Structure 1
Amino acid sequence: MKIFCTGASGYIGGSVAAHLIAAGHQVSGLVRSPDKAEAVRARGIEPVMGTLDDSAVLAQAARTADIVVNAASADHKGAVTALLDALAGSGKLFVHTSGSSIVGTRAKGGRSDAVFDEDTPITPSPARAARVALNEFILAYRDKGCRPAIVCPSLIYGDGLGANPNSVQIPLLIKLAKKRGNAAHAGPGENVWSNVHIDDLVTLYALAIEKAPAGSFYFAENGELSMRDACVAINRMLGFAGPPAAMSMTEAAAEWGEGTTEDTMASNSRVRARRARQLGWKPNARGLIEEIEQGCYREMLRFWRPQS
């Protein structure tokens, strides 16, 4: 099949595209520059020059594809609208990438016992209300003659493909630990995030392409971990003695920015991928602690330079 993928040069989109190409599909991908076009072409992806604001480019690419995967942005309504309007009435599949911070609780590093599956009602934080509304907007296109589905990953880890071969939280923690000589978390670090390996995540996209009914929503997770436990593992991997440090929220915001601190590094996002497993998804990649201590993050250390 012909698949058009936004974010084809990024962590999720590049990894999904590589998996689909290996399965025999023809993949085209949205890229913003000649350098990125050359990079994705080298991986077997046909580049489509443009940005998420180029509605005509997006619509044309969607119309010529059998399937569209949006992995560039969880929040860009203009791009989503252009793609879905082009697919309306076609019966084609549109897979959108959201993120489990939609259930996030701003807990300043404290633990929450709230756990969500796909049927749990969500009252999003103000920072994620627009994303939840966009998800609802997307799924409503099941009544407009296309097949929308949403994959909603939790904290992603592991070595992916694309210009940025890694996700957000774990690299931020490792880079800060190298800078300080000790891992550090926001507040007490008791906040918990579910997590999923990138290798498992791409298989869920492939399964959704094959089997997801119109209007489907899937969390993606295979375990959970507190930020403090992640920091303990980072200290062991880096050979730092002693426990990780607890930063104040002000200190953490100075390192990561207020939004990232409040909604990602100090929040809780605990989800269960019940529907994904009912679809037949069977995640089996190595766990997050093992990946930190023995896997790609240890290997990546040689490419990271100390910050001055």
Structure 2
Amino acid sequence: MKIFITGASGYIGGSIATALVSAGYDVMGLCRSVDQVPLLKQKNIEPILGTLSDERVLLQAARSADAVINAADADNPFVVEVLLQALGGSGKKLIHTSGSSIVGDRAAGDPSDRIFHEDSPRPIRFEKIGRVAVDTRVAEGANQGVSSVVLCPCLIYGQGTGLHSQSIQIPRMIEIAKKHQMARYIGRGENIWSTVHIEDVVRAYLLALEKAPGGSFFFLENGESSFKEIAETIHSQLNFEGTAQSWAVEEAVKEWGQEGAHFAFGSNSRIRSNKARNVLGWISTYPSVIDWLNDTDLWEITS
């Protein structure tokens, strides 16, 4: 079975691609840079040179595959339309990668007790309209003869197995801690995100290829932590004096930008994965991001 995957040189896509190879799949991976071609070949991934704007490349690769995984850009409607066009009427699988910031709020570090399941009504914030629209369009692909699926992970941690081995949120918090000799959280730091290890995420993709029905949507999580807990653990593991400190969201914006400060680090994003466990038989194995931080040499992690 041949799989075409976008984002094959990235953290999520690269980890999925290497797992697919290990599982015996033939894998084609989209890559933007000529420099990445030999690196993908070393991992037994067939490089497809092109970008997310190359309609001809996307169409040809998708049509030649038995299934497609989009792990490159959760907010790109063009890519989704091209892939749906390529697979229309084929009954082939299309798995699209979203992200749980779609249920995020502008909490500036304050907590929320709101928890989302797949069938929960979801607020549509202005900042996330585009991503929600893309998710909806993917699900509608089931009406075009595409077995289309959306997987929506939360804060991902752990060592990736592709060309890019680090995630985004945790490494950026570690980077800021090293820069200031002090870990930071926004406001009270009581905002909570669900978390999941990259290896558990990858396992869900392999299961979705085999078991996910067309038009379905799955959250992926295994536990949750507040950002103050995460920051304090980072601070302790880096052996800095004192404790992690609060950061006004306005100051955080200077380092992380508006999107990062408000949604990646200052919001709540609490989800549950009952559907993935019940429908896909997904079993997550890593206990918590705090345990992982305590068992990891954080000086080796860069964003």
Give TM-score scaled by structure 1 length: 0.96
> Structure 1 pair 273/304, CA: closer, same or farther in 2 (3 Å)?
closer
- How many angstroms apart in 2 are the aligned matches of 1:179 and 1:286? 29
- How many angstroms apart in 2 are the aligned matches of 1:104 and 1:303? 26
Gaps of 5+ in 1: none
Alpha-carbon deviations, 1:172-223, whole Å to 9, x = none?
1111111111111111111100000001000000000010000111100000
> Structure 1 pair 97/304, CA: closer, same or farther in 2 (3 Å)?
closer
Aligned residue identity for 1:263: F
More displaced, 184-193 or 282-291? 282-291
> Structure 1 pair 9/291, CA: closer, same or farther in 2 (3 Å)?
same
Q: Does 1:282 align with 2:288?
A: no
- How many angstroms apart in 1 are the aligned matches of 2:212 and 2:254? 42
Preserved contact between residue 117 and residue 272 of structure 2 (Cα < 8 Å): yes
Alpha-carbon deviations, 1:268-304, whole Å to 9, x = none?
1000011101020000024211211212xx1x51465
TM-superposed CA distance for 1:166, in Å, is 1.2
SS at match of 1:39: helix
Aligned residue identity for 2:133: A
More displaced, 89-98 or 280-289? 280-289
Q: Does 1:121 align with 2:118?
A: no
Q: Of 297, 301, 304, which residue of structure 1 is paired with 2:299?
A: 301
Partner of 2:257: 257
Aligned residue identity for 2:76: H
- How many angstroms apart in 1 are the aligned matches of 2:127 and 2:8? 26
SS at match of 1:34: coil
Equivalent residues in 2 for 1:129-148 (5 A)? 129-148=129-148
Aligned residue identity for 1:281: W
TM-superposed CA distance for 1:162, in Å, is 2.9
Preserved contact between residue 10 and residue 161 of structure 1 (Cα < 8 Å): no
Partner of 1:291: 292
Partner of 1:227: 227
- How many angstroms apart in 1 are the aligned matches of 2:33 and 2:184? 36
TM-superposed CA distance for 1:124, in Å, is 2.0
- How many angstroms apart in 1 are the aligned matches of 2:84 and 2:299? 41
> Structure 1 pair 245/303, CA: closer, same or farther in 2 (3 Å)?
closer
Pairs aligned (count): 302
Partner of 1:67: 67
TM-superposed CA distance for 1:164, in Å, is 2.5
Aligned residue identity for 1:183: A
- How many angstroms apart in 1 are the aligned matches of 2:302 and 2:9? 21
Identical residues among aligned pairs (%): 46
Partner of 2:238: 238
Gaps of 5+ in 2: none
Equivalent residues in 2 for 1:1-308 (5 A)? 1-278=1-278, 279-295=280-296, 298=297, 301-302=299-300, 304=302
- How many angstroms apart in 2 are the aligned matches of 1:165 and 1:286? 20
TM-superposed CA distance for 1:235, in Å, is 1.2
Preserved contact between residue 104 and residue 124 of structure 1 (Cα < 8 Å): no
Alpha-carbon deviations, 1:112-141, whole Å to 9, x = none?
111001000111221111111111111011
Aligned residue identity for 2:258: E
SS at match of 1:267: coil
Preserved contact between residue 149 and residue 214 of structure 2 (Cα < 8 Å): yes
- How many angstroms apart in 2 are the aligned matches of 1:193 and 1:131? 18
Aligned residue identity for 1:284: T
- How many angstroms apart in 2 are the aligned matches of 1:142 and 1:86? 13
